[in-house]
Structure 1
Amino acid sequence: MSTASDLTDQNPSSAPVTVSATPPKRGLPGWLRGVIWAVVAIGVLATASYLTGVNTLTSTNTAQTALRLALPILFCALGGLWAERAGVINIGLEGMMILGTWGAAWGSFYGGVWAGLLAAIAFGALGGLLHAIATVTFNVNHIVSGVAINLLGLGVTKFLASLIFTPISGNPKQSPPVPKFDTYSATFLSDWLGDLEKQQRVGISDAAGIIRGLITEVSPLAMIALLLVPLSYLVLWRTRFGLRLRSCGENPVAAESLGVNVYAHKYVAVLISGGLAGMGGASLVLLANGADYLENQTSGRGYIGLAAMIFGNWRPGGLLGGAALFGYADGLQLSGGGTAVLALLYGAVILLGVIVIVQLVRRRWFAAGAGVVGAAVLYWIYWANDDLPSDLIPYTAHFVTLIVLAVASQRLRAPKADGARYRRGEGD
């Protein structure tokens, strides 16, 4: 009788093969990568501030202004995340945000700030509902529907402002003064950080100025926005509902075959998206020291929020970084003007130098060469100008948007069914 060992000896090719499986290397957690990037950013800004002598780069005032200007972008980016993870492109964030500005002013004038916030959410969600009806139920092209929502939002708010605000303020393009959110500060910590900032110690004072700006005179709306980032991650990536919603954006036909109500999840996602965009509109009206309702006061921030979401690769943590970047660029030009923006270009040269070194270590020659060319161009702009033209300074955030999207385009991965038309029962 042949044994198993005999058969193995007779037919070596049938011998069992032992595969030594090396476990894949796990990358750093997302939160730790975010902390590292934050430290790198502060280090670059501190170095640029020291070498250029422009303290505005890391001042408390700049950080406060950046936080205030980043809020509408962050809310819109979160709104885009919810919609596009469900497979619905939401170009209409700008229009939903415009609806939110009017709802915030109307609700706040008649019922206080919290009523204004709820009204902004409701008006933004109404815009989201119209977008969902058009794209999910009637399969209208998502881009066309989004553009229509933007135009509709502008027209509806003009009509409502003329109808409601003109008898009160006499101006159809502006609301009467409305209540604003109170602000709160961590007084003891803020005072200590203020003392550190005044000492002008390289690195330490810069970090103290930035952190102090983020914990001084903070609005409840800012706290809500920052809380919504981890909350969105937990809901979308750590719950059954979130898994089903994301499956609708990746493969709605497969999701349908597993019993997921694709229509319902898309509707919920776009409604939440509109509500978040409405909150972005509220942040323009209800923050302390901010303007009351003005006609078309969003100034394209809905589109910048969409860009921040794309820069963040459709992830909550990434879009937070994008919103912070765009808010900082916008806040810097308000706080320091053209000189501060030029100093920021110098900081970008330093950052590109670090990136070039990293790419050389990884032997990515093309990326390293592109980084060298980019650094050379930015340094030439910095060296050749004492100040930037005043007409260009207000568009700093828009230029940053274009540059960042061009750099980030190499690593983007959108949901596979984002923008795709879906009909129940018609999948392959």
Structure 2
Amino acid sequence: MDKIVIEGGVPLKGEVAISGAKNAALPILAATLLAPGVHHLYNIPALADIRTIKRLLGIMGVKFEDGDPLVVDTSQLTGWMAPYELVKTMRAAVLVLGPLVARARQASVSLPGGCAIGARPINLHLKGLEAMGVKINLNQGYVEAKAKRLRGTEIHLDIPTVTGTENLMMAATLAKGTTRLVNAAQEPEVADLARFLVAMGANIEGIGTDTLTIRGVEALQPASYTVMSDRIEAGTYIAAAAITHGQVTVTNAPVQHLTAILEKLHDAGVRFIADESSVQVMGGGTLHGVDVKTLPYPGFPTDMQAQFMALMSVAKGASVITETIFEDRFIHVGELKRLGADITISGNQAVVRGRRQLSGAPVMATDLRASASLIIAGLAAQGTTEVHRIYHLDRGYARLTEKLTALGARIQRVPA
């Protein structure tokens, strides 16, 4: 197992290109199951989670040719089981449930795992599928689903679940009749999946809104599609540039989906210029503490909460960070405190009192975005920071050490 070693205190300088969005690529790969044939997918990031879902789809008979585009051949579906061994490492694997019941009329999918940041149950997925005519049975940790052709219906989601919206939208594309998803998630990655489904021939209205209307079709066709860029990766590099008082241009960025992040960074005193596809961060200025509350899109994303907390740990004054999406998403606080951060937790709020300087120390990553926060803090800390359990990072950041090294960071990945 590797670790990342950082010699902090170096302002980042240069240009970094953002990779494809993991949280769009995963459901899009699952959606290829809906249309037998050969798909061509561009801008797929090189991540551990992508390798996991490719292994999962491979079990079902899907064949791949690596490259850009990634060629996905779903002509022969030979299985419909998602085993615990794969699903336990990545909860997004549950996204094969909707496509499988729509195409194969059956599925057996292990209950999901993934990051240790709360329960995140899939009850809304199952409730929605049952309303569409799917018979659900929970058996020894597996969701066993069977159906004749799905039927369209109106589904009101209790909360705007992202993967729930995606699963039900995918299933509805091949249902008989019309499905309305009310209180649907509006995240850009959900909209990106919807546009891919439309490219395959699906009939979807309301893309990007909280009400999706899906008119089922008899069949879908393979498609070529370019996955959107990763807004969380973009936000992470912007935060890294800001905390080191660096001068960095973040390119291939989905700026139209960064509004909430950029507004808070502006309020915190980060100097930048943004256009349609890039953000130029300019060093200098003083960081100020600002309050943040995580919310569903278009609010401030929970996946940037930890990185913003790292930035606030060296800002002037205090900030209150409120987490409303997931419970147990302050696990990284203890590790940031090892670097000298002054953070107090009360329920779903963290009060961060900025310090002039952080100090390097050994720390341990607990989940994907917590890992990123420790990297950001380590870049600003004086001395050496060692980040352990970095396999979390491999799930969501492509070529992280290489990209940071190109920006001048003194960072290396070495055996632990």
- What TM-score comes out, normalization by structure 2 length? 0.27
- What TM-score comes out, normalization by structure 1 length? 0.26
Using CA pairs below 8 Å that are at least 6 residues apart, which structure has the higher relative contact order? 1
